Amino acid sequence: MKVLLVYPQTPDTFWSFRHVLRLVSKRSSLPPLGLLTIAAMLPAEWQLKLVDLNVQHLRDEDLAWADYVMLSAMMVQKDSVLEVVRRCRSAGKTLIAGGPLFATGHEAFAEIEHFVLGEAEDLMPELIADMTRGSLRHCYEAECRPDVTRVPVPRWDLLEPRHYVTMAVQFSRGCPFNCEFCDIIVMNGRVPRTKTPQQLVCELEALRQRGWKDMVFIVDDNFIGNRAQTKALLREIIAWRTRTRAKMGFFTEASVNLADDPELCDLMVKAGFRKVFVGIETPSTESLEECRKLQNQGRDLVDAVKVLQRSGLEVMGGFIVGFDSDSHDIFKRQFEFIQQSGVVTAMVGLLTALPKTRLYQRLLEEGRLLAASTGNNTQAVLNFRTKLNREYLLEGYRELMKKLYEPRVYYQRICTFLDEHRARGPRGRLSSSDLRAFLKSFWVLGVWHQGRRAFWKFLARTLVERPHQFHRAMELAIMGHHFRRVASLL
């Protein structure tokens, strides 16, 4: 059996990092972890080929080769998905689709004949048997949450790691919280399920054996959802690093209550974690209460960010505007919070009602839904009737984004972060691609683009005041180029 695994193209968003890929000599920020995991569940004797459209083109010869095409996608990739579907139909190929895009909205894709909905582990034996017989059902849907300790090591041999900025692994699924706007609990539930620490270290070792030495994104919905298991994993990673002298570093997503656990922060840094993405959402107490972001309430969020920074972690923050409780000064408050806290990578988006979330159901009952979500919350688009004036929100969002990533403002935010950050744990690896990126950035940021004067001032200040943080400072400066380009297109 010949199976072609296709991953659609990701459009220009915060997470695509498209505008810095050339600077770092890469083609994509992340590999398609879901497809690589599915590939590991297929029979070993089957022939498999992966085509990641963020890295390479889908050729007619690839389609002609395949007996089946498997497609996995996120909501934001819908346009690319439709093109892949068109080409599969034109080539007469049987297409099997799965992933988040279809888990909450497969009904919108009448042209796709076969779906795997939800987590696939328990469905794979039946799916494989039906593929072998050539008698596929329309839908395969999981009846319960699978045991993730049975998930195999992803098929890293199907891709070329050098094309990617980071690799990706998963330790847990699910989040114990119940934020109104979030679809994670719809897809993966509220009870975190974890792999064993030894199991994840085996995955990391497989990456190390393939020569990977750079960053690894642990893609968990909430890395600290099960703190006891997370601490056990971190101790296992520390021991593994000591044995193997592994060079890779890590970043992940976690809730802000990570700041309440000094031991957990210390273990993360010792294990090689350098960054953590935190859903801060808003400085508005009323809006946090509205969306049931309980873990963010009753605390000084700026102080929580600084606690994490002082522990040795860079905080990347998610922020949302457009809540019913937002007042007219929300854009001013968001800007002041982000600058004061030194959250350099501030991913601000407009609130969007994702399918099957509690927010979606509430707005549907209130008759306020206007359109389906695109999955890209960095577009100046609202898919529901808002309490604040719609045009005020859209224009305020555009202005906030451009202001946050204006060079002088952005470089000042980097300095605020570096003033708090205490670099600890294993040292980051300075690769040849890093050196090339630095040299290219001098031209792009210091000569070609506006803001060059602010760039050279920032560079000089860094070399004089904090030369030991030069690598981190330049990495953030380069990332700012991408965010500035995204903001300019709003």
Domain regions of the chain by residue span = 2-141, 166-420, 432-488
- Give the length of the chain: 490
Domain 2-141 falls under CATH 3.40.50.300 = no
At position 164, the amino acid (one-letter code) is Y
How is residue 105 annotated by DSSP?
T
Q: How far apart are CA 418 and CA 309, in angstroms?
A: 9
User: pLDDT tens digits for 290-331?
Assistant: 999 999 999 999 999 999 999 999 999 999 999 999 999 999
Selection from 30, 59, 7 nearest residue 161 by Cα = 30
pLDDT at 430: 61
- pLDDT tops 70 at residue 403: yes
> How sure is the predictor about 438, in pLDDT bands with cuts at 50, 70 and 90?
confident
Mean pLDDT of 382-386: 95
Q: How far apart are CA 54 and CA 373, in angstroms?
A: 22
Selection from 451, 430, 325 nearest residue 388 by Cα = 325
> How sure is the predictor about 429, in pLDDT bands with cuts at 50, 70 and 90?
low
Mean pLDDT of 395-421: 97
The separation between CA 257 and the C-alpha centre of its own chain, rounded to angstroms, equals 20
Question: Which residues are registered as beta bridge partners of 95?
Answer: 69
Phi, psi of 116 (to 5 degrees): -115, 115
- pLDDT tops 80 at residue 427: no
Residue matched to tokens 């990706």: 168
Q: Which has the higher per-residue pLDDT, 348 or 446? A: 348
Cβ atoms of residues 457 and 403 within 8 Å: no
- Quick one: 166-420 is in which CATH superfamily? Aldolase class I (3.20.20.70)
> How sure is the predictor about 433, in pLDDT bands with cuts at 50, 70 and 90?
low
Within this chain, domains 2-141 and 166-420 share the same CATH topology: no
C-alpha gyration radius of the chain = 22
Q: How far apart are CA 383 and CA 356, in angstroms?
A: 14
pLDDT at 432: 66
Contacts of 329 (CB under 8 A, 6+ apart): none
> How sure is the predictor about 246, in pLDDT bands with cuts at 50, 70 and 90?
very high
The string of DSSP letters for 52-70 reads ETTTS---HHHHHH-SEEE
State both tokens at 323.
Answer: 């809540």
Q: What sign has the CA pseudo-torsion 176, 343, 11, 437?
A: negative
CA 481, 482, 485 angle in degrees (round to 5)? 85
Biggest CA–CA distance in the chain, Å, is: 69
- pLDDT tops 90 at residue 490: no
Selection from 342, 381, 335, 387 nearest residue 363 by Cα = 387
pLDDT at 373: 86
Q: How far apart are CA 40 and CA 35, in angstroms?
A: 9
At position 415, the amino acid (one-letter code) is C
> How sure is the predictor about 428, in pLDDT bands with cuts at 50, 70 and 90?
low
- Counting beta carbons within 10 angstroms of the beta carbon of residue 339, is it exposed (0 to 12), middle (13 to 18) or buried (19 or more)? middle
Q: Which has the higher per-residue pLDDT, 59 or 378? A: 59
**% of the chain exceeding 90 in pLDDT:** 86
Mean pLDDT of 374-389: 85
